Structure 1
Amino acid sequence: MGTIRITKQFNFETGHALFGYDGKCRNVHGHSYKLSVTVIGTPITDTSHVKLGMVIDFGDLKKIVKEEIVERFDHATVFNRNTPHIELAEELTARGHNVILADYQPTSENMVIDFAAKIKARLPEHIRLHSVKLQETDSSFAEWFASDN
């Protein structure tokens, strides 16, 4: 049996601000992100296995991505830990808002790298992460490919 790639897509809303940026995105704003996660593997051939024919159960992949990414980032605001927005972040947190202080500038490029690492760490041993695509707008996205890293 051949190697197969499967993809699961997710949607979530996240706010952010780009510290030090010279354009509008230095302001706090948000996006309706679309995340596509593609894994690669060989379908299960054991006829006694409940998941016969699957590379990975879509539900299992969904659980990993929801726990690592969607539940954490959905309706959160992400700031670079070194941002001057730290007082705003502390105020929002004190008021019960979900604020993430990242060790990186929260661009789509850096977020997709972070997401790939989180997903890879949770995948079963026989499944490889092939790619992660994070779409920020209808016309803008960042992609991470295992073959490039």
Structure 2
Amino acid sequence: MTKIRLTRLFTFEAAHALQGYDGPCRNIHGHSYKLQVTIIGLPIINDEHPKNGMVLDFGDLKQLVQETILDVVDHALLLRADSDSDLVEALRKLNHKLLLTPYQPTCENMLIDFKTRLRKVMPGSVALHSLKL
């Protein structure tokens, strides 16, 4: 049986600042992100199964990514957890959606975080093949 890769594109908006960075990205700024999630697995071969022929229902993949990643980061400001406490407190008082990360919130580190989060919730019949941001 042939393993199949499926990719779904997701979009979200988020802001971040790179603490200690020596360029303009040290300032709070935002991006329109495109996240490609690719899974790999064997299609279900069972005429009696409602998902016959599918590796994973796209609706199920959408729900996994939505709950695991998008609900957390969409329209959020990502800052390192050790960011200036006065800034963090001011943002919280203004009810901003703030995500404090244990890492520098670069695209690379965000992808590592997303991979870790998704691998925990992937059904056993499929594997996370790749992510692209």
Scaled by the length of structure 1, what TM-score is found?
Answer: 0.87
Distance in 2 between residues matched to 1:88 and 1:64, nearest whole Å: 32
**Structure 2 residue ranges without an equivalent (≥5):** none
| Partner secondary structure for residue 68 of structure 1 | helix
Q: Displacement of 1:89 after TM fit? A: 2.0
Give RMSD over aligned pairs.
Answer: 0.8
Q: CA deviation at 1:21?
A: 0.2
Q: Match for 2:4: what amino acid?
A: I
1:29, CA displacement in angstroms?
0.4
Give me the whole-angstrom Cα distance separating, in 1, the residues matched to 2:89 and 2:68: 23
% of aligned pairs identical?
51
Q: Give the equivalent residue in structure 2 for 1:40.
A: 40
Aligned residues: 133
**Secondary structure of 2:88 counterpart:** helix
Other structure's SS at 1:70 match: helix
Which residue number in structure 2 is paired with residue 127 of structure 1?
126
* Match of residue 24 from structure 2: 24
Q: TM-score, normalised by structure 2?
A: 0.97
What is the CA–CA distance in structure 2 between the aligned matches of 1:32 and 1:70, rounded to whole Å?
Answer: 13
SS at match of 2:83: coil
Moved over 3 A (4+): none
Question: C-alpha displacement at 1:97, in angstroms?
Answer: 1.0
- State the match for 1:61 in structure 2: 61
Which deviations, in whole Å up to 9, do the C-alpha atoms of 1:58-107 show, x marking residues without a partner?
000000101111111111000001123x3222211121110000000000
Deviations along 1:1-56, one digit per CA (max 9) or x if unpaired, are 31100011100000000000000000000000000000000000011000000000
Task: String of CA shifts for 1:91-133, please: whole Å, max 9, x gaps.
Answer: 1112111000000000000000000111111110111000000
Once residues 81 and 86 of structure 2 are traced to their aligned partners in structure 1, the CA distance between those partners, rounded to angstroms, is: 11
Partner-residue secondary structure (3-state), 1:56: coil
- Quote the residue 2:89 is aligned against: 90
Q: What SS class does the counterpart of residue 78 from structure 2 fall into?
A: strand
1:117 maps to 116
C-alpha separation in 2, matches of 1:61 and 1:90: 35
Distance 2:89 2:37 in 1: 32
- Structure 2 partner of 1:13: 13
Unaligned runs of 5+ residues in structure 1 are: 135-149
